[in-house]
Structures are given as structure tokens and as C-alpha cells.
Structure 1
Amino acid sequence: MSELTEKDRQLLIKKGITEAMLDAQVAQFKQGVPPIQLYKAAVIDDGILPLPKEEAAKYAA
């Protein structure tokens, strides 16, 4: 990707993403992702793990 700045490249390195990985992600977005059929919403204890109140407050902040 020639439009990346040096700052962009440094951020990719920091996040552990190679330029090849970025190119693959961009290609996927350009191709589009086929829709999936959802059967039901995720709820606590069925796809969602509950957090202790202290931990939930930390993440909410």
C-alpha cells in the first residue's frame, strides 16, 4: 500500500499487523462479506460472559 505514511507503518508494527495483512483486510472489505443468518441474540450465559461489577465499571470508564 503506497499511501501509508511512516506513522501508519509504525502503528501497524505496534499492533503486530504486517502490510500484507493490511492489504488482505482491505481486499476483503472491497470484495464484501456475505451476510450471515443469525438465529438468536447472544445473552448472558449463552454467548456472553457476565463481568463482575468492578470489572464492568472499569471497562465502562
Structure 2
Amino acid sequence: MSDSNTHIGWVLGAGVEAFVTETVSAGVEYQHHDFGSKNYNIGGATFGLKGQLDLVRARINYHF
């Protein structure tokens, strides 16, 4: 038995970056991913999944 599913969603994010020195910059960004909700019936039991993910990234960059 096989099952195939396609989940469609959206992503929204924002970020900032600034120079700390002439050659080093630092930044942070946030992304929210939402792929909706889906119920699965496996072996007679129903499982509900909500596809959401929140990411926060921090970075330091060296410019040469």
C-alpha cells in the first residue's frame, strides 16, 4: 500500500543586517513556514498534523 500527498503552504519572513566594523557585519532573520493541516488515517487510527515551522537565524559575515 502506498500513499502520496502534496502539501502547499506559504513562507513569510524578515531580517536585518548591519556593519559592526568595516569588514564585519551581523544580522538576524525570522521565517514562519505554514503548510496547513492534514489528517492521516493509518491502520484505523486518525492522526492530525499541523505543518508549521518558525526559524530564527543569526549570522556574522566577514567581508574581504
Q: Which has the larger radius of gyration?
A: 2
TM-score range, shorter chain: under 0.3
More relative contact order in 1 or in 2 (CA 8 Å, sep 6+)?
2
TM-score normalised by the chain length of structure 2: 0.22
TM-score normalised by the chain length of structure 1: 0.23
